[in-house]
Amino acid sequence: MTGDEFAGLHRDLGLQVINTGACNWIINENKTALSCPPEMVVFPTDEEITRVFRQGVRAISFRTETEEKNFFEYLYEGVTYNLEQFDRKVRNRVKKGLGSCQVITPDLADLITQGLRINQQTIERQVRDEQHLTSPELWERFITT
């Protein structure tokens, strides 16, 4: 299945799909955009990314490859992050979700062991090589500094 066929399938399912040249983007109901197909390596330009954000998107996700260690992320920088800017249904979902959350400051031992495990899973999923995040010795030195 080609990228255009994959995009067409999602369009037929009722999702908004836009093409910026480098790839198609699926705009989800939660105002996030996903490159289409998501496993395809793409290199969108700043202009293409801006075009996606102009659709009201708050976050985008795409797979790319680079030899550079310097990278950046696009972040939503709205006027406010207050819940009042969202409709009642979204506010209620957020409040319900927060009610089931427990926010604590982890102790150092948990941060070292559980943080390492989270890093290893993330790095494996993203197909990256970050020794200071996945090596137990380097991670412990990094986190205790």
Its domain, for residue 112, covers: 108-144
Mean residue pLDDT across the chain: 84
Kindly state whether residues 73 and 20 are assigned to the same domain.
Answer: yes
Kindly state whether residues 44 and 14 are assigned to the same domain.
Answer: yes
Q: How many domains does the chain have?
A: 2
Kindly state whether residues 92 and 120 are assigned to the same domain.
Answer: no
Kindly state whether residues 23 and 57 are assigned to the same domain.
Answer: yes
**Segment holding 12, helix H or strand E:** helix 3-12
pLDDT tens digit sequence for 62-87: 888 776 665 555 565 667 777 887 78
Kindly state whether residues 121 and 86 are assigned to the same domain.
Answer: no
Distance between CA atoms of residues 115 and 124, nearest Å:
14
Of residues 17, 47, 43, the one with CA closest to residue 25 = 17
Kindly state whether residues 52 and 121 are assigned to the same domain.
Answer: no
Q: What's the helix, strand, coil split of the chain in %, to 5?
A: 45, 10, 45
Confidence of residue 27 (pLDDT cuts 50, 70, 90): very high
pTM: 0.46
Residue 23 DSSP class: -
Cis peptide bond prior to 37, omega within 30° of 0: yes
Kindly state whether residues 71 and 13 are assigned to the same domain.
Answer: yes
Task: Quote the distance between the C-alpha of residue 87 and its chain's center.
Answer: 23
What local confidence, expressed as pLDDT, does residue 25 receive?
92
Kindly state whether residues 92 and 127 are assigned to the same domain.
Answer: no
